Amino acid sequence: TNTKHHHLLKNAEIILNKRFGYPTFRKGQEKIITGILQGQDTIGIMPTGGGKSICYQIPALLLEGTTIVISPLISLMKDQVDTLRELGMPATFINSSINYTEAAKRFQETRQGKHKLLYIAPERLSAGQFSAQLATLPISLVAVDEAHCISQWGHDFRPSYLDITPFLETLPDRPVVTAFTATATPEVTEDIIALLHLRNPNVCITGFNRENLSFSVVRGENKQDFLLNFLQNHREQAGIIYAATRKEVDNIFEMLGKKGYAVGRYHAGLSDQERAENQERFLYDDLKIIVATNAFGMGIDKSNVRYVIHYNMPKNMEAYYQEAGRAGRDGEPGKCILLFAPQDIYIQRFLIEQSTLEQARKEKEYQKLRAMIDYCYTPHCLRNYILHYFGEEMTETCGKCGSCDDDFDIHEITIEAQMILSCVVRMKERFGISLVADVLKGSQNKKSAQLRL
Ligand code: ADP
Ligand code: ZN
């Protein structure tokens, strides 16, 4: 009823104000929280930095029993738990970073009601004994973070996520289940609902738009020159540079190091220690720039990243938006720049071809790659392109992306394109670009004469 709803909301607001120190809820938070408090399953799709955490943290404090938070971000769990405890909220985590005795202790404390929130990594659920133990807790809410990881169609599928649903089914009383993600196409959203067996869920999409970010694609320019020039004008700011391969990361890292930038690097070829150290130094502004592969970052919670430059085109729009979205989490302006060259397409095609994916899956990946390439070439508003991809329609262009800012002319070149293709066909598709160009120009050079072209 309305009064009940009002009452729940009031309680939630008190915690928001008193514990978290925020005056009002942000878009979507209120609806998600009251839904959960009324026992409804929820799927919350909110942009990075939108404030997903308190959507389950506040209900966790208000509901009886324990809330289990399933998160793949082991490196972040400790931070999140520490933050909660500083605010006086009883929380703990169990993951591979603590030993068996410590885990048993934390489990015991949770059973005794000393913790309202228990963070775990999904891998834990594959160990039968651990899930059996968990099932003995009075669990009132299960929050699944980064829920797109359960979907094969998402960009970061993690098989361990498939253990969540069987675990839920072993529970004597089914808790409320709530899933969160920042990147889900309508298809992935459906998949999350189906795979987690969400019951009549409250689907809350607050929109993907990140007003404070500006997008641009740089084509046909020397990437290195562009980068050096850009950095020179942004010396004081923190930024991330993503590159497609470890080798490329190393090259950029060295180049910037030689130029005297406070730069670090991050990729899977480095030791755990070096990675952790670089990440830490970047978080604390000791390093201004981090050059990384896509191994860097899910859940990177650095608020003052002012730019994210992609030195290469990533594999798809989901990956791009998530990585670019690490800029401007504090709400201040952030620049998202993609440096595109046609070779990037070959790298990504190669990676799909080399992968062990099934054929149907590969085709899906090619399709997503296609949409990524289209982003690099579209003359239309880039923000609208992104939002459309995620199923959101905008009626107006953003006015501040690379396309909106550009005053290029559009020329009709259909006839020329037809002539070029027809020439290629008539040369039986046997020659490279320069000979085709020669023939089209009517060149009398030796080779075309010899071949009688
Ligand atoms: P994400 O959706 O990326 O997980 P977080 O939950 O980490 O986002 O929240 C992002 C930032 O927004 C955090 O610093 C958080 O404290 C802040 N925040 C969340 N909700 C509110 C609110 N209602 N009012 C003000 N700040 C908020
Ligand atoms: Zn635009």
Whose CA is closest to atom 20 on ligand 1?
A: 51
Reply yes or no on whether the pLDDT at 249 is more than 90: yes
Query: Per-residue confidence at 303, pLDDT binned at 50, 70, 90?
Result: confident
Distance (Å) of CA 445 to CA 422, 427, 432, 448, 450: 21, 16, 15, 6, 9
Which of 14, 20, 144 is the best mutation target for the ligand 1 pocket, counting ligand atoms within 8 Å of the beta carbon and taking the most?
20
At residue 9, the pLDDT reads 87
At residue 252, the pLDDT reads 98
ipTM for the predicted complex comes to 0.96
Whose CA is closest to atom 5 on ligand 1?
A: 51
Query: Is the C-beta atom of 181 inside 6 A of ligand 1?
Result: no
Query: Is the C-beta atom of 28 inside 6 A of ligand 1?
Result: no
The percentage of the chain sitting over the pLDDT mark of 70, rounded to a whole number, equals 99
Query: Per-residue confidence at 298, pLDDT binned at 50, 70, 90?
Result: low
What is the rounded average pLDDT of the residues 376-399?
91
In sign, the C-alpha dihedral spanning 151, 157, 163, 167 is negative
At residue 1, the pLDDT reads 60
176-222 pLDDT, tens digit each: 999 999 888 888 999 999 999 999 999 998 878 898 999 999 998 99
Question: Is there a contact between 242 and 308 (Cβ–Cβ < 8 Å)?
Answer: yes
Please tell me the distance between residue 440's alpha carbon and the centre of ligand 1 in angstroms.
Answer: 59
DSSP 316-367: SHHHHHHHHTTTTTTSS-EEEEEEE-THHHHHHHHHHHHS---HHHHHHHHH
Query: Is the C-beta atom of 52 inside 6 A of ligand 1?
Result: yes
Return contacts of 174-177, CB within 8 angstroms, 24+ apart. Answer: 175/68, 175/139, 175/140, 175/141, 175/142, 176/36, 176/39, 176/40, 176/41, 176/42, 176/59, 176/63, 176/140, 176/141, 176/142, 177/41, 177/42, 177/141, 177/142, 177/144
Which of 53, 71, 73, 283 is the best mutation target for the ligand 1 pocket, counting ligand atoms within 8 Å of the beta carbon and taking the most?
53
Q: Using DSSP bridges, classify how beta strands 176-181 and 117-120 pair: parallel, antiparallel or unpaired.
A: unpaired
What is the rounded average pLDDT of the residues 362-370?
94
Reply yes or no on whether the pLDDT at 353 is more than 80: yes
What is the rounded average pLDDT of the residues 164-180?
95
10 Å Cβ neighbour count for 85?
13
Reply yes or no on whether the pLDDT at 41 is more than 60: yes
Whose CA is closest to atom 15 on ligand 1?
A: 51
Query: What is the chain's mean pLDDT, rounded?
Result: 91
Please tell me the distance between residue 233's alpha carbon and the centre of ligand 2 in angstroms.
Answer: 23
Reply yes or no on whether the pLDDT at 299 is more than 60: no
Query: Is the C-beta atom of 281 inside 6 A of ligand 1?
Result: no
At residue 31, the pLDDT reads 92
User: Looking at per-residue confidence, does 127 or 348 come out higher?
Assistant: 348
What is the rounded average pLDDT of the residues 124-148?
91
Query: Per-residue confidence at 288, pLDDT binned at 50, 70, 90?
Result: very high
At residue 300, the pLDDT reads 67
Reply yes or no on whether the pLDDT at 443 is more than 90: no
In angstroms, the CA 328 to CA 303 distance is 6
In angstroms, the CA 69 to CA 145 distance is 7
What is the rounded average pLDDT of the residues 116-136?
90
In angstroms, the CA 343 to CA 312 distance is 9
At residue 48, the pLDDT reads 77
- Closest ligand 1 atom, CA of 47? 2
Q: Is the pTM of this model over 0.95?
A: no
At residue 43, the pLDDT reads 96
